[in-house]
């Protein structure tokens, strides 16, 4: 497969379609990667985007990584990383890892389309079938703070998740005083009352003392996990939290390499028998970088079931299914049209099955398909 063109556009990406909720000011890059392979008279095109939570990567994609990939000639998705990273020094991951991961998603989409396979099946063929089922445990992610009527609107949102078949959900904390956050957790637990069916995400907002106070206050709640309590590189604070919080904690969303993963494991106080690893396959230089993290952490005693990829989109679902991971995030109402499952998808026992559409299956989300084809 030879890449002959890569087009990028930076687009706004809002936390919710609801205009009353602050969008957060985020952007993402969408890319269309055209190959030299022709099917039914048309070039095969792979689509990708920069996951969520960072910003668009247009400059890096257009000036550095796309030209290198196009100049490399025929490429395999597992080998494309070396072509894109030619001349780059180790370390200093910054945002370049997201730029590479954006193109990587489009590469896998194109390669699976060429093989006429859904991505999860294509990955099993390439990486080795672990015998894992296609269905993946998922949780509905959302629960941002509403500017008005926060508790009642939060419960309405969670009811929609529950009524759509989700058995697990995650809400945000850390943007308000602790007492207010505890009220949010109590309200959410009315909708998801089962033990370990509700997670909370502090979005790396706490300093050390506040993180410990939150952990102590949340300890009796029986949460699925407590996520991103402090700065991702503040391993002292992370360790202090796990010292007082005996429930699962989740970390790794804002770390982007195998070297950083080793630091988290060595210094972050995580416990391999219960804690969760949230590395984002797109933000970790794409799937090749993510595989390095999985291999590294498995070598240090972690189970694959501890991995629940961040992102909440179709690519993460395919990766979790193919690699036999513990589960994955889904954004049913956040970051439209990038989050969620394909139109009309039905959950079974709180699990989601990747679509059988060739590639990632972006064409199964009407609004997202139109956005990509606008490139």
Q: Summarize pLDDT for 5-31 with one digit per residue, the tens.
A: 999 999 999 888 777 777 778 999 999
One domain for residues 235 and 301? yes
- How many structural domains are present in the chain? 2
Are 188 and 287 members of one domain?
Answer: yes
* 104 plus 164 within the same structural domain: no
Which neighbouring-strand residues pair with 249? 226
CB 107 within 8 Å of CB 75: yes
Handedness of CA 120, 126, 127, 130 (dihedral sign): positive
Domain endpoint, select from 49, 82, 116: 116
Q: What is the CATH number of the domain that holds 60?
A: 3.30.390.10
Task: Report yes or no on 121 lying in a domain.
Answer: no
Average pLDDT, the chain: 95
The answer as to whether 89 is a domain residue is yes
Out of 23-32, 242-251, 352-361, pick the least confident.
23-32
- 328 occurs within a structural domain: yes
Q: Is the pLDDT of residue 83 over 90?
A: yes
Give pLDDT, residue 343.
Answer: 96
Does one domain contain both 219 and 242?
yes
Annotated active-site positions, please?
A: 172, 310
Asked if residue 171 lies in contact with residue 201, where contact means CB atoms within 8 angstroms, the answer is yes
Helix (H, G, I), strand (E, B) or coil at 292: helix
Q: Is 276 helix (H, G, I), strand (E, B) or coil?
A: strand
Residue 17 pLDDT: 78
Judgement on whether residues 74 and 176 belong to the same structural domain of the protein: no
Residue range(s) defining the domain that contains residue 278: 126-373
Among 60, 87, 116, the domain boundary falls at 116
Whether 22 is covered by a domain: the verdict is: yes
**Residue 79, in any domain of the structure:** yes
Distances from the Cα of 13 to the Cα of 142, 222, 226, 302, 337, angstroms: 14, 33, 25, 34, 9
Co-location of 56 and 137 in the same domain: no
For the segment 127-167, what is each residue's pLDDT rounded down to a tens digit? 987 656 689 999 999 999 998 999 999 999 999 999 999 99
Per-residue model confidence as pLDDT tens digits over 106-124:
999 999 999 999 999 999 9
Is residue 166 situated within a structural domain? yes
User: Are both 174 and 318 inside the same structural domain?
Assistant: yes
- My answer on whether 71 and 101 are in the same domain is yes
Q: Over the stretch 47-79, which tens digit does the pLDDT of each residue have?
A: 999 999 999 999 999 999 999 999 999 999 999
Number of other residues whose CB lies within 10 A of the CB of residue 165:
16
The H or E element that residue 4 is part of is: strand 3-12
147 with 108, same domain?
Answer: no
Same domain, 90 and 140: no
Pairing of strands 42-49, 136-141: unpaired
**Do both 112 and 130 map to the same domain?**
no
Domain closes at, from 116, 144, 164: 116
- Indicate which CATH number applies to the domain containing 207: 3.20.20.120
Residues 58 and 141 reside in one and the same domain: no
């Amino acid at each position: 497969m030879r890449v002959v063109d890569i087009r990028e556009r930076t687009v706004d990406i809002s936390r919710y379609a609801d205009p009353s909720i602050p969008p957060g000011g985020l952007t993402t890059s969408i890319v269309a990667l055209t190959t030299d392979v022709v099917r039914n008279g048309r070039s095969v095109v792979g689509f990708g985007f920069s996951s969520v939570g960072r910003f668009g990567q247009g400059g890096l994609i257009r000036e550095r990584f796309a030209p290198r990939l196009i100049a490399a000639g025929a490429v395999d998705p597992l080998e494309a990383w070396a072509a894109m990273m030619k001349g780059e020094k180790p370390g200093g991951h910054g945002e370049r890892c997201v730029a590479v991961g954006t193109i990587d998603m489009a590469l896998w989409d194109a390669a699976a389309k060429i093989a006429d396979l859904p991505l999860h099946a294509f990955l099993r063929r390439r990486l080795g079938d672990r015998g894992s089922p296609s269905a993946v445990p998922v949780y509905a992610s959302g629960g941002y703070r509403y500017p008005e009527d926060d508790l009642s609107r939060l419960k309405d949102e969670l009811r929609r998740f529950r009524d759509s078949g989700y058995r697990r959900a995650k809400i945000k904390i850390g943007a308000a005083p602790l007492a207010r956050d505890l009220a949010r957790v109590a309200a959410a637990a009315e909708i998801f009352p089962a033990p370990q069916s509700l997670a909370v995400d502090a979005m790396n907002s706490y300093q050390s003392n506040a993180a410990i106070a939150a952990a102590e206050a949340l300890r009796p709640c029986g949460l699925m996990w407590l996520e991103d309590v402090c700065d991702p590189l503040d391993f002292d604070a992370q360790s202090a939290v796990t010292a007082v919080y005996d429930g699962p904690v989740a970390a790794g969303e804002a770390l982007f390499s195998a070297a950083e993963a080793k630091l988290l494991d060595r210094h972050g106080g995580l416990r391999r028998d219960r804690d969760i690893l949230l590395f984002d396959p797109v933000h970790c230089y794409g799937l090749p970088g993510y595989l390095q993290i999985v291999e590294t952490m498995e070598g240090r005693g972690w189970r694959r079931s501890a991995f629940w990829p961040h992102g909440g989109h179709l690519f993460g679902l395919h990766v979790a299914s193919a690699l036999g991971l513990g589960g994955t995030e889904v954004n049913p109402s956040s970051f439209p049209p990038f989050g969620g499952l394909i139109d009309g998808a039905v959950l079974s026992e709180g699990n989601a099955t990747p679509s059988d559409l060739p590639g990632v299956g972006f064409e199964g989300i009407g609004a997202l398909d139109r956005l990509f084809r606008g490139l």
